[in-house]
Amino acid sequence: MDYLSHIVRDPTICGGEAVIKGTRVTLRTVLASLAEGASADDILADFPTLSPADIRAVVAFAAASTEEDFPVPGVPVLNAN
């Protein structure tokens, strides 16, 4: 997913926090809602300016961000003896 097409960081919007493009909804807000147990439908109801693709972009961005901090280890090779 091209999550960067959904996300913008502008010092004049929400103090430079990453937001969904065209909104003032921060990635932090969406991630906190998901962490608290909100469904994508709940978030879309609370923030009607968002689309399902925006929520997927937030999750993709978060996943890509963790790869930088926590590299995924290689798959171990099993000995076929």
Q: What is the pLDDT along the chain (81 residues), one digit of tens a residue?
A: 789 899 999 999 999 999 999 999 999 999 999 999 999 999 999 999 999 999 999 999 998 887 766 665 666 666 655
Q: How far apart are CA 56 and CA 40, in angstroms?
A: 9
Model pLDDT, residue 9: 93
Q: Which residue has the tokens 């926090």?
A: 17
Asked whether residue 65 is domain-assigned, the answer is yes
Asked whether residue 59 is domain-assigned, the answer is yes
Asked whether residue 58 is domain-assigned, the answer is yes
The reported pTM is 0.79
Q: In the chain, which ranges are continuous DSSP H helix? A: 27-35, 40-46, 52-69
9 close to 18: Cβ distance less than 8 angstroms = yes
The CATH number of whichever domain residue 32 belongs to comes to 1.10.10.10
Asked whether residue 55 is domain-assigned, the answer is yes
Asked whether residue 75 is domain-assigned, the answer is no
Token pair of 41 as six digits: 């439908």
Model pLDDT, residue 43: 98
Q: Which domain holds residue 33?
A: 3-69
Short-list 35, 55, 57, CA closest to 45:
55
Model pLDDT, residue 17: 94
